[in-house]
Structure 1
Amino acid sequence: MSDLYSELLVKKERTAKDMLVKYGLIVLTALVAAAGLLITPILLIGAIALGIACYFIIPGTDLEFEYLFVNGELDIDKIMAKTKRKKVKNVKLQEADLMAPVNSHRMDYYNSNQKLKVLDFSSGNPEHKRYAIIVKDGADLCKVIIEPDEALANSMRNCAPSKVFLD
């Protein structure tokens, strides 16, 4: 028996907020460091603190998501600045309620549910075809948004044809 296997790497598009955070932190750190050198050395402590914040926050503005689908399980990893990898979600299609395009009529009930937790692991581009997977996250329902290519979507459809809709 052969395994159903598919993987895909999706780069999250940078938003204006990401750029503002990145360059705002860099400029603020440089200004505080300059003020620490020219005005009072106590501000150098603030510059060091801002530099440490930059180290942890800036990689989060350059994201990629890796989807790995093997035998009914979708593993989603977040890759930050092409250096740090973190596993963010594991979805078992057999335990999912539904997978369909985000704007599909099949999602109407879930899209109107305000209590639904939304996890977006897509590029963020509304022009790309994005799918939502409805799964249980503890006691609550969760909507996981992904952006699979045709091969990954077909692999998922072959694994759970009664739950995965590609319309």
Structure 2
Amino acid sequence: MGDLYSELLVKRERTAKDSLVKYGLIVLTALAVFAGLFITPLLLIAAIILGIACYFVIPKTDVEYEYLFINGDFDIDMVMAKTKRKRVKSFKLSDADLAAPLNSHRMDYYNGNQKMKVLDFSSGNPEHKRYGVITRLDGDTCKIILEPDEKLAQAMKNSAPSKVFLD
């Protein structure tokens, strides 16, 4: 009854690198097929290898992140090409040191730390309001970048009011 529950789907915006990888692999595969048919059949082996690479790489250029927040437990799933789902991170908000907007003065100390591992699970658009969660994962301090909506941000604040700041 008093459970804090929120879920959100955030689509990562496609970058120039994603498009270059996707269309570059497709063009290379097509060139290898034509070269294998008209020049030497050995290039068909390269075409098969490139085709297999396309199967595994191209879905990773169309990514959405699903946030699931239940009573302080935060799960982040990566949905690739709307068909494959993979759990990428799980953490407890109560174990976090801080959660605040990336441009907040509260993040100044952590933004200067070059050794901190940064995990970006947001759309990648700097114009959107993105939050940083400072926590320990696998023994290392890391910054997890999220893009919650108002409902999710408020649920996070209600779960850990002394650690989550909405300014």
Give the structure-2-normalised TM-score. Answer: 0.99
Runs in 1 of length 4+ with deviation above 6 angstroms?
none
Q: SS where residue 24 of structure 1 aligns?
A: helix
* TM-superposed deviation, 1:29: 0.3
Deviation at residue 99 of structure 1 after TM alignment: 0.1
Partner of 1:98: 98
Q: Which residue of 2 aligns with 1:65?
A: 65
Which one-letter code corresponds to 1:119 in the other structure? L
| Partner of residue 128, structure 1 | 128
- Please give the alpha-carbon distance, in whole angstroms, between the structure 1 residues aligned to 2:69 and 2:148: 10
* One-letter amino acid matched to 2:158: N
Code of the residue aligned with 1:121 in structure 2: it is F
Q: Does 1:32 align with 2:57?
A: no
Q: How far off its partner does 1:140 sit?
A: 1.1
Tell me the SS of whatever aligns to 2:41: coil
- State the SS of the aligned residue for 1:153: helix
Aligned residues: 167
Where does 1:18-29 land on structure 2 (aligned, <5 Å)?
18-29=18-29
Query: Which position in structure 1 is the counterpart of 2:110?
Result: 110
TM (norm. structure 1) is: 0.99
Cα-Cα RMSD: 0.6
Q: Which amino acid aligns with 1:112?
A: G
Question: Which whole-Å CA distance do the structure 2 matches of 1:94 and 1:79 have between them?
Answer: 26
Q: Deviations over 1:83-139 (max 9, x none)?
A: 000000012011000000011110011000000000000000010000000010122
- Aligned sequence identity (%): 74
Q: Which residue of 1 aligns with 2:163?
A: 163
Indicate the SS of the match to 1:136: strand
One-letter identity of the residue aligned with 2:82: K
Give the aligned partner of residue 9 of structure 1.
9
The 2-side partners of 1:131 and 1:166 are apart by 9
Gaps of 5+ in 1: none
Letter in 2 for 1:164: V
| 1:18 match: secondary structure | helix
Distance in 2, matches of 1:2 and 1:107, equals: 31
CA distance in structure 2 between the aligned counterparts of 1:3 and 1:140, rounded to whole angstroms: 30
- Tell me, what secondary structure is at the counterpart of 2:64? strand
Name the SS of the counterpart of 1:59 in structure 2.
helix
CA distance in 2, matches of 1:134, 1:59: 29
